[in-house]
Amino acid sequence: MPLELYLDLHSQPCRSVFLFAKLNNIPFEYKTVDLSAGEQYGEEFGKVSMIRKVPVLKDGDFILTESIAILQYLVGKHRTPDHWYPADLQKRARVDEFLSWQHTNIRAHGSKVFWFRGVLPAVTGSPVPKEKMDAAVEELNTSLKIFEDKFLQTRGPFVVGDKISLADLVAIVEIMQPVGTGLDVFQGRPALSAWRDRVKKEIGVEVFDEAHKIIMNVDALPQTFENKGIPEFLKLKIQKMFN
Amino acid sequence: RSVYIFAKKNNIPFDYKKISLFEGYQYSEEFGKINLLRKAPAIKDGDFCLAESVAIMMYLAEKFHTADHWYPADLQKRARVNEYLSWQHSAIRIHGSKMFWFKLLIPKALGTEVPKEKMDNAVEDLNASLNLFEEKFLQDRPFIVGDQISLADLVAIVEIMQPVGAGMDVFENRPKLKAW
């Protein structure tokens, strides 16, 4: 039975899993979950994961959520090249350090900016209040500065030295999220841009672009909602965001 | 607390460098040399500095060859630990921390009560996380990954204790959680 990956490439963690599987020639069955239609709240998907998030991995009877855990599992199972998740204690710790930090920093702030710029206006029909938007962008900027100052540093071309690892993969998909809404976070950040170019080259421009096609076309969302309607979960989520 | 307990429990010798977050030591130049992220915990092993409790515990587990159950070598068991350690950042950790701030720190430090709607939402979020914890991560197992305690349980317990410290008894009406 082939590996199943439940994905929606609007989602950053789906992109890192998708890219990792592709780059390492890990065969999988792509199971689309349409987040904009609320498919994650459907009965079908509920049988796969009660957490109702993507990505999800299904390996026979073994179901696993959380992209970080999925990536670590795929590394272990498919014995991918060492640089992705080095066996060396200190190098691995550096990858783990970033993978831990990113949840409530780049991930949280990049997601928020994405919602504020790309999703909320599409649902409510009006832009997010300036003060809220500015605060969200400021938090993202703070995270990006920390990323450059601490994680990129002068240690090497990638987060953990000479070669790309899970840290770079997770970082790039998260940083691309606000970019999809037209906020070019690379502008004015030469170190970040240079790193992005190196990562893109390692991944391969074609497969990188393939993974990011949906997010780079996120201005199609308003039309999607007009055609399919706005799912209830989205209205509730947005209400909560404004508290 | 998870790092402290893990080190103690596994008899890992360490020099306890007590820092005061409320005094802002994490913003000092001195601490910046240890951890640019300006958060605790952080460890210094010779010249090697490391932040992020999850990364620290994985490092210690490996370096000190702690008992397998803490971070099992078995692929699927380890995946379950990793799954929890990943999920908790944006779930129990964030909502538990928020309750601590809302119920204790903000009223005490700023002398202001948090608006009812914000408080209610925060309680609701924490409850949702605790429900998921019981329904998905615990189910009817004694520990998160089966019969033995792991890093997942350690991280979970210290996070769940945070709102308890602020006077919110999350174990009330949650017999499964209490037993765990």
Chain B closest-CA separation from residue A108 CA (Å) = 9
Residue A62 CB coordination number (10 Å): 13
Same structural domain for residues B51 and B100? no
Chain A residues with a Cβ under 8 Å from any Cβ in chain B: 50-51, 62, 64-70, 72-73, 76-77, 89-90, 92-94, 96-97, 99-101, 103-104, 107-108, 146, 149-150, 240, 243
Point out which residues pair with B146 in neighbouring strands.
B143
Kindly report the CATH number assigned to the domain that includes residue B34.
Answer: 3.40.30.10
Contact B82 A72 (CB under 8 A): yes
Question: pTM value?
Answer: 0.97
Contact A73 B82 (CB under 8 A): yes
Contact B83 A243 (CB under 8 A): no
User: Would the ipTM clear 0.90, i.e. be above it?
Assistant: yes
Q: Is the pLDDT of residue A198 over 60?
A: yes
Residues, chain A: 243
Domain limits for position B2: 1-66
Cβ burial, residue B103 (10 Å; 0-12/13-18/19+): buried
* Mutual angle of helices A106-114 and A12-23, in 10-degree steps: 120
Sheet strand arrangement including A28-32? A28-32, A3-7, A56-59, A62-65
Whole-number CA gyration radius for chain B: 18
Q: Is the pLDDT of residue A123 over 60?
A: yes
Per CB-CB distance under 8 Å, the chain A contacts of B50 are 93-94, 97
Contact A149 B36 (CB under 8 A): yes
Q: In this complex, which of A50, A149, A150 lies closest to B136 when CB atoms are compared?
A: A50
Kindly report the CATH number assigned to the domain that includes residue B152.
Answer: 1.20.1050.10
CA distance A184 to A89: 36
Contact in structure between B56 and B50 (CB atoms under 8 Å): yes
Same structural domain for residues B38 and B103? no
Helix (H, G, I), strand (E, B) or coil at A87: coil
Contact status of B88 with chain A (Cβ, < 8 Å): no
Which of B66, B95, B118 delimits the end of a domain?
B66
State which residue of chain A sits closest to B63, comparing Cα positions: A89
Give me the number of domains chain B comprises: 2
- pLDDT by residue for chain B (180 residues), tens only, comes to 999 999 999 999 999 999 999 999 999 999 999 999 999 999 999 999 999 999 999 999 999 999 999 999 999 999 999 999 999 999 999 999 999 999 999 999 889 999 999 999 999 999 999 999 999 999 999 999 999 999 999 999 999 999 999 999 999 999 999 999
Stretch A3-29: mean pLDDT, rounded? Answer: 98
Which of B49, B66, B83 delimits the end of a domain?
B66
Spatial neighbors of B36 by CB under 8 A, at least 6 apart, are A146, A149, A150
Same structural domain for residues B80 and B161? yes
Contact status of B63 with chain A (Cβ, < 8 Å): yes
Residue A163: predicted pLDDT: 95
State which residue of chain B sits closest to A65, comparing Cα positions: B83
Same structural domain for residues B115 and B171? yes
Give one DSSP letter per residue of A142-169, joined into a string: HHHHHIIIIIITTT-SBTTBSS--HHHH
